[in-house]
Structure 1
Amino acid sequence: MKYILAEIIKKRLKESAIFFAYSYSGFILGYFILKLFFWDKLWIIALITTFIPLILFPTFLLPIICLSIIKKRWFSIISAIACILLISWLHIKYFSPQPINLTISQPSLKILSHNLSWYKTQSPTLFKLIHKQQPDIIFLQEIVKKHTKRTFPSLKADYPYQIGTPPVGILSKYPIVSSEILHLAGHRETQQRAIIKFNEQEVVIYNMQATGPWLKISKKLGFIIIPVYKYDKRSPEIQDLVQRVERETLPVIVAGDFNMTDETQDYDRVQKVMQDAFRKSGWGFGFTWPQGWELKFLVKRSNWRLNYPVCRIDYIWYSKHWGAKSSSVLEATESDHLPVAAELILLTAAR
């Protein structure tokens, strides 16, 4: 009886493994074909793209399943090639930084950007973060009045130049020549543009907070209910930002919460006019969100938390006038976003 039961279990496991191998392979192949033709125009492709490269990791299981269960030569060759391509892509994109070296004659700026997640981030935590990093310019998103009325004044000695207009704020060691509030694409989300005086050079900075995507319940045929990934408000904001940056003649730095991953079409639009500091000088995936999310929707009355972010949506960008010496994702605060930091070197001045 035990032998028969073991054989049944073995057979079911084999069937499950074969089903996974073929269905996953078909899913990945279909995804790349649809992305090639449509990219973010299809919401399902945009949703899947949000979790790349995590969705690609099971590719490494295919050769194992093939050698031990499927035992088909053609599938072994294809899965092995897929693994080699995936390893090469991961190495080139995420684990091959190209930072530039700092010289005495080239001035640098230390940048810190953090989404405080409204009331979650406490002032002592923010003080500790700033004191440890010692940035020159701080970009903050989702701030509230307690930050501008309590935290900002306490930092006045080190950061005398401040623009605090909830939900965004900028703290600077260098003079702020001018500033303005933006509503990119005419949307409600608030951004900032300012000009600072750094090393006798005017520099344009943007503090970015893009509208976040969300899942909306949609009815099809009047009775079929499906979730739909909505990101249509973010794209016009990104396009507006790109157009503004293209018109700038001064060195530009843009930092903040973009609510997009580095596989999206919106990321590609920004990358055409600016450089991603973490991609140039950081190491690894650089995931920043969602930190510390409670997983009660999976198991009720549980204390499970997602302490390992799975998306990178917070960025520091720069124009051709700069180079990135270093970039990193910092330790967690109370926010569901991790802070990001970078040191940028001014290569060429503009007048």
Structure 2
Amino acid sequence: MKYILPEIINNGLKESAKFFAYSYSGFIICYFILKVMFWDRLWIIALITTFLPLILFPTFLLPIIGLSIIKKRWFTIISAIACIFLISWLHFKYFSPAAINITNSQPSIKILSHNVSWSTTQSPTLIKLIQKQQPDIIFLQEIVQKHTKRTFTSLKADYPYQIGTPPVGILSKYPIVSSQILHLAGHRETQQRAIIKFNEQEVVIYNMQATGPWFKRDKILRFLKIPVYKYSRRSPEIQDLVQRVERETLPVIVAGDFNMTDETQDYYRVQKVMQDSFRKSGLGFGFTWPHGWELKLLVKRSNWRLNYPVCRIDYIWYSKHWGAKSSSVLEATESDHLPIAAELILLK
């Protein structure tokens, strides 16, 4: 009996590994087929795409399972090839920043963007972050009155040009020539457009806050409702922004909380008219959300926090007039978003 039990456990683990290898492989194949056919038009594909890099990591286990447990040559070879493709994709997309040729005479501007998550981020924390980073322009989202009264007032000497219109705000070391409040696609989310004077050049800046996707119960049968990933309100806002940027003739910088990842169709729409500073000059995945997210939002009576962001939804974009010298994700504040920073070089 003492020999039978370990053998049963061992066989059970082997069968579980086989089941995982085959089912996971089928899942990934189906996902890519459906993505090519529908992309974001299917909510389940849009949801999976949000966490794509993490979802693909188990691919590295397949050759090991194929070689040691399944022991089928074709499976081992195919899974090994898949791993090579995955490594190549990760390297070129996330770990190969594009170098630009710059000189010391070219003017640079430092950008900081942060979704402070309403009253969650304390003013002293925000002030400390800004004083440490010393950016030239600050884009803030989800601010409240306490931020305009405390943070903005405390930083008035260093940032004399301020537009504090909760839930968004801009602080600048450079003169703000004009500003306006936007509601992209006519939605209630608030954005800002302003023109600043930088290096004797007028520059258009947008402070972005897009409508966030979330789960809502949807009736699929008369007696059955299931949670469905809803993101349709974001796309019209992104399209509105893209159309506005296309009409701009001045250098453009857009920063803020886009509530989209870099595998979404909306991301590729923006990428057609602007460059992603982190993708050009950053290193790694650049995940910014959700930091310190409380699980009790999903499960009652739970104080467990997710302190490791799993997706990137905050961006600093720029037009062809700029180049990205550096880009990074900064240390956490009390917000569930991590702040981001970039240094841009004015090319022409």
- Normalised by the length of structure 2, the TM-score is 0.98
1:300, distance to aligned residue in structure 2 (A): 5.9
Q: Deviations over 1:78-106 (max 9, x none)?
A: 00000000000000000001132542221
Asked if structure 2 preserves the Cα contact closer than 8 Å seen for 1:161 and 1:173, the reply is yes
User: Secondary structure in 1 aligned to 2:120?
Assistant: coil
Q: Deviations over 1:103-136 (max 9, x none)?
A: 2221000000000000001111111100110000
- Tell me the equivalent position of 2:269: 269
Measure, in 2, the Cα distance between the counterparts of 1:101 and 1:128. 33
Q: Deviations over 1:169-194 (max 9, x none)?
A: 00000000000000000000000000
Q: Is 149-158 or 200-209 further displaced after alignment?
A: 149-158
- Tell me the equivalent position of 1:35: 35
- Tell me the equivalent position of 1:76: 76
Going from structure 1 to structure 2, the CA distance change for 1:302 and 1:228 (only over 3 Å counts) comes to: closer
User: Secondary structure in 2 aligned to 1:232?
Assistant: coil
Measure, in 1, the Cα distance between the counterparts of 2:165 and 2:331. 26
- Tell me the equivalent position of 1:153: 153
Residue 228 of structure 2 is aligned to residue 228 of structure 1: yes
Measure, in 1, the Cα distance between the counterparts of 2:130 and 2:268. 31
- Tell me the equivalent position of 1:325: 325
- Tell me the equivalent position of 1:92: 92
Measure, in 2, the Cα distance between the counterparts of 1:293 and 1:215. 16
Measure, in 1, the Cα distance between the counterparts of 2:51 and 2:268. 16
1:303, distance to aligned residue in structure 2 (A): 3.9
2:55 partner letter: I
Asked if structure 2 preserves the Cα contact closer than 8 Å seen for 1:251 and 1:322, the reply is yes
- Tell me the equivalent position of 1:288: 288
Measure, in 2, the Cα distance between the counterparts of 1:78 and 1:297. 41
User: Secondary structure in 1 aligned to 2:44?
Assistant: helix
1:297, distance to aligned residue in structure 2 (A): 6.2
1:3, distance to aligned residue in structure 2 (A): 1.3
Asked if structure 2 preserves the Cα contact closer than 8 Å seen for 1:160 and 1:172, the reply is yes
Matches within 5 A, 1:243-322: 243-296=243-296, 301-322=301-322
1:6, distance to aligned residue in structure 2 (A): 1.3
User: Secondary structure in 2 aligned to 1:46?
Assistant: helix
Counting matched residue pairs gives 348
Q: Deviations over 1:281-309 (max 9, x none)?
A: 00000000000012246776554321110
Asked if structure 2 preserves the Cα contact closer than 8 Å seen for 1:141 and 1:209, the reply is yes
Q: Deviations over 1:195-228 (max 9, x none)?
A: 0000000000000000000101112211222111
Going from structure 1 to structure 2, the CA distance change for 1:216 and 1:299 (only over 3 Å counts) comes to: closer
Matches within 5 A, 1:10-29: 10-29=10-29
Measure, in 2, the Cα distance between the counterparts of 1:325 and 1:115. 23
- Tell me the equivalent position of 1:194: 194
Measure, in 2, the Cα distance between the counterparts of 1:112 and 1:300. 35
- Tell me the equivalent position of 2:185: 185
Q: Is 170-179 or 301-310 further displaced after alignment?
A: 301-310
1:153, distance to aligned residue in structure 2 (A): 1.1
Going from structure 1 to structure 2, the CA distance change for 1:182 and 1:298 (only over 3 Å counts) comes to: closer
1:312, distance to aligned residue in structure 2 (A): 0.1
Going from structure 1 to structure 2, the CA distance change for 1:118 and 1:46 (only over 3 Å counts) comes to: same
Measure, in 2, the Cα distance between the counterparts of 1:297 and 1:5. 42
Q: Deviations over 1:252-307 (max 9, x none)?
A: 00000000000000000000000000000000000000000122467765543211
- Tell me the equivalent position of 2:62: 62
Asked if structure 2 preserves the Cα contact closer than 8 Å seen for 1:101 and 1:325, the reply is no
Residue 112 of structure 2 is aligned to residue 112 of structure 1: yes
1:203 partner letter: V
- Tell me the equivalent position of 1:46: 46
1:107 partner letter: P
2:124 partner letter: P
1:124 partner letter: P
Measure, in 1, the Cα distance between the counterparts of 2:300 and 2:185. 40
Going from structure 1 to structure 2, the CA distance change for 1:248 and 1:223 (only over 3 Å counts) comes to: same
Residue 166 of structure 2 is aligned to residue 163 of structure 1: no
1:10, distance to aligned residue in structure 2 (A): 1.3
Q: Is 244-253 or 150-159 further displaced after alignment?
A: 150-159
Going from structure 1 to structure 2, the CA distance change for 1:300 and 1:168 (only over 3 Å counts) comes to: closer
Percent identity at matched positions? Answer: 87
User: Secondary structure in 2 aligned to 1:38?
Assistant: helix
1:44 partner letter: I
Structure 2: gaps of 5 or more residues: none
Measure, in 1, the Cα distance between the counterparts of 2:320 and 2:217. 42
Asked if structure 2 preserves the Cα contact closer than 8 Å seen for 1:99 and 1:326, the reply is no
- Tell me the equivalent position of 1:9: 9
- Tell me the equivalent position of 2:134: 134
Going from structure 1 to structure 2, the CA distance change for 1:223 and 1:2 (only over 3 Å counts) comes to: farther
Structure 1: gaps of 5 or more residues: none
